């Protein structure tokens, strides 16, 4: 069916997204080939060979879109995106502001969770990052069964409160992933609905401390601060499973501030 998206997945999980009807393409990692001749009448579950690679054909979802996405700025990984989303209560129908948008790593997770009844406002001040982020989001729009009302403001978050207010009269959540989150906390937190939450993704402890102080000065309560450490296990060559050899990498400290403090269960 022309227009249909398929994911081709390597044995290590690397994925490539292809759309039927695209004709001749050049795909990094696979080379140049004709999509329609190569896909022929394969269906999800089949395998095919391109060059030296054997690839399994599957229907793409968020994991395949994430693996195949174009990257320019550093992206938020699933371990941090998932934690922020669930801890901040972001769900179907939520209205969320995120900035900076970068390559859309976080935005892709947000879009898949809030669904067609949600609203996502992304802000990015570097046009070259916005272009990559938009491309990743437009591909995701075609893949997901539903997609939120999405606005990408190519603006600076320090001065776009009015642009955001024109799009919504309330925000359920705000997530800041930019070098100086503390410069926007005061202004942007005024748009949070009662009980709404603001999250900051802070690669360094200085960013965490400054954001913490800015949140408190803005009258927010710090609900949770810390980091999520992921330790992957693998299969040992002589049997058994054990923690893998890959080092545990630091990504960022997360800060979650609430418009109103709620007691921990």
3-class DSSP state of 30: coil
Helix or strand (DSSP H, E) at 230: none
124 near ligand SAM (CB under 6 A): yes
Please list the residues that pair with 32 across neighbouring strands: 26
| One residue of 8, 85, 88, 104 binding ligand SAM per CB under 6 A | 104
Contact at 8 Å (CB) between 256 and 250?
no
- Least distance from ligand SAM to the Cβ atom of residue 117, Å: 23
Pairing state between β 119-123 and 95-99: parallel
Q: Which stretch binds ligand SAM (CB under 6 A): 9-17, 47-55, 117-125, 237-245?
A: 117-125
Q: Which is nearer to ligand SAM, 102 or 196 (CB)?
A: 102
Helix or strand (DSSP H, E) at 248: none
Contact at 8 Å (CB) between 73 and 129?
yes
Residue 183: C-alpha distances to residues 156, 157, 158, 215, 242 (Å): 11, 9, 7, 10, 43
Size of the site for ligand SAM (CB under 6 A): 22
Q: Which stretch binds ligand SAM (CB under 6 A): 102-110, 185-193, 216-224, 227-235?
A: 102-110
Contact at 8 Å (CB) between 117 and 123?
no
Q: Which stretch binds ligand SAM (CB under 6 A): 14-22, 71-79, 187-195, 206-214?
A: 71-79
56 near ligand SAM (CB under 6 A): no
- Least distance from ligand SAM to the Cβ atom of residue 103, Å: 4
| One residue of 6, 9, 68, 76 binding ligand SAM per CB under 6 A | 76
What's the token pair of residue 57?
């054909």
- Residue 96, phi-psi category: left (phi > 0), alpha (psi -120 to 50), beta (remainder): beta
Q: Which is nearer to ligand SAM, 157 or 164 (CB)?
A: 157
- Least distance from ligand SAM to the Cβ atom of residue 227, Å: 16
- Residue 223, phi-psi category: left (phi > 0), alpha (psi -120 to 50), beta (remainder): alpha
| One residue of 15, 60, 105, 197 binding ligand SAM per CB under 6 A | 105
- Least distance from ligand SAM to the Cβ atom of residue 156, Å: 4
Which residues sit at the interface with ligand SAM, rule CB under 6 A?
Answer: 73-76, 99-100, 102-106, 123-126, 129, 156-158, 177-179
């Amino acid at each position: 069916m022309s227009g249909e998206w398929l994911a081709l997945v390597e044995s290590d999980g690397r994925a490539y997204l292809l759309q039927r009807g695209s004709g001749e393409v050049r795909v990094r990692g696979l080379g140049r080939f004709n999509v329609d001749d190569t896909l022929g009448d394969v269906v999800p579950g089949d395998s095919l060979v391109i060059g030296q690679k054997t690839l399994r054909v599957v229907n793409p979802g968020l994991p395949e879109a994430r693996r195949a996405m174009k990257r320019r700025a550093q992206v938020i990984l699933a371990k941090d995106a998932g934690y922020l989303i669930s801890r901040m209560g972001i769900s179907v129908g939520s209205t969320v502001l995120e900035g900076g948008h970068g390559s859309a790593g976080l935005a892709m997770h947000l879009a898949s969770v809030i669904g067609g009844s949600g609203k996502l406002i992304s802000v990015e001040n570097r046009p070259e990052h916005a272009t990559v982020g938009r491309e990743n989001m437009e591909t995701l729009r075609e893949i997901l069964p539903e997609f939120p009302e999405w606005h990408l403001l190519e603006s600076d978050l320090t001065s776009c409160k009015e642009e955001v207010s024109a799009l919504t009269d309330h925000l359920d959540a705000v997530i800041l992933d930019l070098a100086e989150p503390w410069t926007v906390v005061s202004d942007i937190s005024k748009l949070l609905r009662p009980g709404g939450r603001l999250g900051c993704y802070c690669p360094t402890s200085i960013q965490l401390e400054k954001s913490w102080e800015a949140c408190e000065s803005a009258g927010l309560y710090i609900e949770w601060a810390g980091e999520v450490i992921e330790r992957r296990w693998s299969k040992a060559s002589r049997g058994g499973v054990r923690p893998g050899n890959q080092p545990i990498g630091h990504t960022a400290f997360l800060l979650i501030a609430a418009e109103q403090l709620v007691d921990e269960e």
